[in-house]
Structure 1
Amino acid sequence: MTGFARHERALDALKTRGRYRQLAPRAGHDFASNDYLGLAGSDLMRQAAGDALARGVPVGAGGSRLLRGNASEHVLLETEAAAFFGTEATLFMGGGFNANLAIFSTLPQQGDLVLHDALIHASTHDGMRLGRAERRSFAHNDVDACRQEIETWRAAGGRGQIWIAVEALYSMEGDIAPLSDLSDLAQLEDAVLVVDEAHSTGVFGKMGRGLAHEIAPLPNVLSLHTCGKALGVSGALICGQSVLIETLVNKARAFIFATAPSPLNAALVRAALRDLQDNPERRAQVWVGIHHAWAEAERLCGLTGFQSQIMPVIIGDDKATMQVAAALQEQGHDIRGIRPPTVPRGTSRLRISITPNTSSNVITRAFGDLVPLIQGVFA
C-alpha cells in the first residue's frame, strides 16, 4: 500500500465507469485534431520557421513579457493581429486556457456578474473561480434565458458590470452561438460580450476572422482567438479595447508571472495570419471537405444537423462510446470518444473533426465503417 491509495481507488473507479484516460500515439487517419486548415505540418509553416530562424528570431523568450521576454516578434504580432481582427489592441499569451484564466480572473470585479453559457469551456470556469465576480449559467445558446438571468440578478439588487461569456463555435457540440442576438442583448443591457473564437478562427468569417468579426470592433466586445487550432501553431490572442488589454498586462497573474511565448512561435502566428489574407483558396478547399462530410454522414448514416467542421455523433453510454471509437481506430480512423466531465452525463459521443489532413475518399470510408457500429449500439 502506498501513500496514494485514494488516487489509485479513484483511477480504478474511472476504469470501471469507462472514463479512464490515457495518452495514445498518433495513428490512423486524422479525425481527431483541431488542425482545421492543415497548417500544423505544412510546408508554409516549415518555410516560415526557417525564414524566422535565418533572420535571427530567438527560439526562447528568456523571461516574462514584463521582464526581458518582450521580443519584437510579440509586438509585431499584436499590432498585425489588432489590424486583422479590427480591434484597438491585442495581447499574445501562451495558450487559450491561460488566456481565459487571465480574462475571467482579472476583468470582472467584485459586485459584477459573469453570465456564461452552460457549455462554456473548462478554462472559463477555472478563471471565474479565481475571480471575485458572481457567476451564473444560462441554457446553451438560449438568449432569452440569458436575458432572464440578467433581470433576476438586477431585481435582487445586482448593480455591477455584466459580462456575458460564450464560445462562437462549441468544441464538442459543433454548433454556433447566436452572436448577433447576444450582441444586441449586451448593447441593450450595457454588458460586455466575451467571445471565445477558438474553434471558429480561420474557418469562419471574412478571411477567417471568426464568427464575431463583424461585432469585434464594438467597445463592449472582447474576443479570444487561439493559435493552436486552425492557425497551426500555439498561443492565444486576446482582442479588444486598449483599456482591457492594459488591465490584463498590469493585473492578470496568468500573464504577469508566465514566461513569454516563444518569439519564434509569434513569428509563425504572423505567417498564419498572412496566409489567411493571401490564400483564400485554402479555406475554400477546407469547406469542400466539410460539405462532403456532411453529405456522406447523411447518406450513409442518416446523421444531419451539422453546422461546422466538428461533427458530434452522440452515443450516450460511456463504455459503448469508447468501444465504437476503438473499433473505428482498429479500421484506421483516428476518431476519439468524448465522455463526462468534458460533456454532460449521458451524452458521451464520437467527436469527428474534418480537416484537410483526410481525403474525401477516407471520409466516405469512415462513415461507411461507422454504420454497422451505430446499428450495433442502438439495436
Structure 2
Amino acid sequence: MAGAFPRHETSLEALRNRGRYRQLMPRDGHDFASNDYLGLAGSDVLRAAATDALARGVPVGAGGSRLLRGNDAEHQLLEAEAAAFFGAEAALFMGGGFTANQAIFSTLPQQGDLVLYDALIHASTHDGMRLGRAETRSFTHSDAEDASRVLKAWRAAGGTGQVWIAVEAVYSMDGDLAPLDALMALCDADGAVLVVDEAHSTGVFGDLGRGLAHGIAHRPNVLSLHTCGKALGASGALICGQRVLIETLINKARGFIFATAPSPLNAALVRAALAELQQNTGRREQAWQGITHAQAEAKRLCGLEGYHSQILPVVIGDDKRTMALAAAMQGHGYDIRGIRPPTVPRGTSRLRLSITLNTGAQVITRMFEDLAREMEKRP
C-alpha cells in the first residue's frame, strides 16, 4: 500500500539514487566536521560560565519576544559588550545566523534598492532576498571587478536606490577570503553598504578574533554579522552596525518581532566567549598553529594547496564518489562529511575538512595519510 505522501517518497527516492540523500548522524570520531574552531563548545570556560550564570539567577528561557517580557538584562549587556568589542555603534542579538541574515535582507534594503551578492553567498541571504523588496544581482565569486561591472550596469539602466553588497568574510564551503579592501573601495565610490557575514571568521581572524572586517567595522556603510555558534561555542548571532539600522531591525524585522527571544543563559555564554577571546589570546594562537600544520600536511601528503583558512575543501566532483570517500574516512575514525548540491554548485561535491582545537597535530597528520591512501583507491 502506498504511503500517505507518495510525491515526497518519490522525491526522497530520487535523492537516494543520485547520492544526495541526507540523514542525521551521531557525533563519532575525530572532529573534522564541526565549526567549533576554538574548542569552546564543550570547554570548561563555558561550563563554568553556565554554572555562574545559573547561580546568579539568569533564566534558562526568555518567556517571550524581546519586545514583550523576553528582553533580559543579559541580552542588553551582551549587545553593549559586542558593539564595543567589534567596533560598531550598536548590536542586536538574534537566535541564529540564518534568522539574522533573513532579517537583514528582508528588512533593510528597500524597494528600488539593489542587493549585489557574491555568487556563493549563503542560503540564508538568498532566503532574505526572496522575502525582501529590493532588486537582486549576483557577481562572480570574490571578483570585485565583476561586482563593479554589475553595479555600473544597474546604474546605467536607471537604478537610483541604495546598493547593498553582500559577502562572506570567509566562505563556509570554500574557505577562501572575500576581497574586502576592493569591495570597500567600490562601496565608497558608489555610496553603497557592505554587508559582511563574519560567521567563519569571528574568533579566528582579526585582532583578538574580531573578524576579517574589523578594520572597517566602524565605518557607517558597513554592517557585519557575527554568529555565536561556531568559534564562540554557543549559539545565536550578533548584527553589528549603525544604530539606525539596528533600530530598524527591532521595529520591522519579522524574525525579531515575532520570535521568542534567545535564551538569556545563552547570552551569558556568548558574553563569556567574548571575554575569553580578549583574556586568553593563546587559544586563537593555538588554533592557528593547527590550521598552519593542516595546510602544510595537506600539501605534503595529498598535493592539496591554496588554502587560506581553517576550512580545507577537498573537491571530488561526483556526488556518490564523494560520499564513498567520506564513509571510508569515517571508517578510519574521522568525522568527515561529504558536501553535495545544493549546498555547493553541481559538479563540485567535496569533503569539507574543518580544523579545530578539538583535534591535535598528530591526528591531523594521520588523517591526511589515510586520506591520501583512500584517494589513490578512487582515482
Measured after TM superposition, the shift of residue 375 of structure 1 is 1.8
Matched, 1:312 2:308: no
Identity percentage over the alignment?
A: 74
Measured after TM superposition, the shift of residue 372 of structure 1 is 1.9
Q: Structure 1: which 4+ aligned runs deviate by more than 2 Å?
A: none
Q: Write out per-residue CA displacement over residues 51-84 of structure 1, whole angstroms, 9 at most, x where no aligned residue.
A: 0000110000000000000000000000000000
- Aligned partner letter, 1:167: E
Match of 1:190 in 2: 191
Measured after TM superposition, the shift of residue 373 of structure 1 is 1.7
Match of 2:43 in 1: 42
CA distance in 1 between counterparts of 2:376 and 2:152 reads 46
CA distance in 2 between counterparts of 1:35 and 1:52 reads 22
Q: Secondary structure at the match of 1:288?
A: helix
Match of 2:347 in 1: 346
TM alignment of 1:225-264, pairs within 5 A: 225-264=226-265
Match of 2:122 in 1: 121
TM alignment of 1:320-339, pairs within 5 A: 320-339=321-340
TM alignment of 1:1-379, pairs within 5 A: 1-378=2-379
Q: Secondary structure at the match of 1:62?
A: coil
Measured after TM superposition, the shift of residue 122 of structure 1 is 0.1
Q: Write out per-residue CA displacement over residues 279-329 of structure 1, whole angstroms, 9 at most, x where no aligned residue.
A: 000000001101110111111111111000000000000000000000000
CA distance in 1 between counterparts of 2:240 and 2:166 reads 14
Measured after TM superposition, the shift of residue 359 of structure 1 is 1.1
What TM-score do the two structures reach when normalised by structure 2? 0.99
CA distance in 1 between counterparts of 2:73 and 2:330 reads 44
User: After the TM superposition, which of the residue ranges 3-12 and 216-225 deviates more from structure 2?
Assistant: 3-12
- Aligned partner letter, 2:197: D
CA distance in 1 between counterparts of 2:300 and 2:169 reads 28
Q: Write out per-residue CA displacement over residues 176-207 of structure 1, whole angstroms, 9 at most, x where no aligned residue.
A: 00011111110111000000000000000000
CA distance in 1 between counterparts of 2:4 and 2:27 reads 34
Measured after TM superposition, the shift of residue 2 of structure 1 is 2.5
CA distance in 2 between counterparts of 1:370 and 1:3 reads 43
RMSD over aligned CA atoms reads 0.5
- Aligned partner letter, 1:198: A
- Aligned partner letter, 2:327: A
CA distance in 1 between counterparts of 2:115 and 2:211 reads 23
Q: Write out per-residue CA displacement over residues 245-292 of structure 1, whole angstroms, 9 at most, x where no aligned residue.
A: 000000000000000000000000000000101100000000110111
- Aligned partner letter, 1:286: A
Q: Secondary structure at the match of 1:56?
A: coil
Structure 2 residues not aligned, in runs of 5+: none
Q: Write out per-residue CA displacement over residues 4-33 of structure 1, whole angstroms, 9 at most, x where no aligned residue.
A: 111000000000000000000000000000
- Aligned partner letter, 2:310: Q
Q: Secondary structure at the match of 2:265?
A: helix
Measured after TM superposition, the shift of residue 377 of structure 1 is 2.4
Q: Secondary structure at the match of 2:297?
A: helix
CA distance in 2 between counterparts of 1:356 and 1:81 reads 24
Measured after TM superposition, the shift of residue 376 of structure 1 is 2.4
CA distance in 2 between counterparts of 1:283 and 1:13 reads 43
CA distance in 2 between counterparts of 1:146 and 1:350 reads 29
CA distance in 2 between counterparts of 1:295 and 1:132 reads 46
What TM-score do the two structures reach when normalised by structure 1? 0.99
What is the aligned residue count? 378
- Aligned partner letter, 2:256: F
Q: Write out per-residue CA displacement over residues 62-119 of structure 1, whole angstroms, 9 at most, x where no aligned residue.
A: 0000000000000000000000011100000000000001000000011000000000
- Aligned partner letter, 2:283: R
CA distance in 2 between counterparts of 1:294 and 1:221 reads 31
CA distance in 1 between counterparts of 2:354 and 2:378 reads 21
CA distance in 1 between counterparts of 2:4 and 2:132 reads 33
Measured after TM superposition, the shift of residue 374 of structure 1 is 1.4
Q: Secondary structure at the match of 1:135?
A: strand
Measured after TM superposition, the shift of residue 137 of structure 1 is 0.5
CA distance in 1 between counterparts of 2:232 and 2:34 reads 12
CA distance in 2 between counterparts of 1:267 and 1:226 reads 15
CA distance in 1 between counterparts of 2:50 and 2:77 reads 16
User: After the TM superposition, which of the residue ranges 94-103 and 366-375 deviates more from structure 2?
Assistant: 366-375
CA distance in 1 between counterparts of 2:293 and 2:302 reads 13
CA distance in 2 between counterparts of 1:376 and 1:313 reads 15
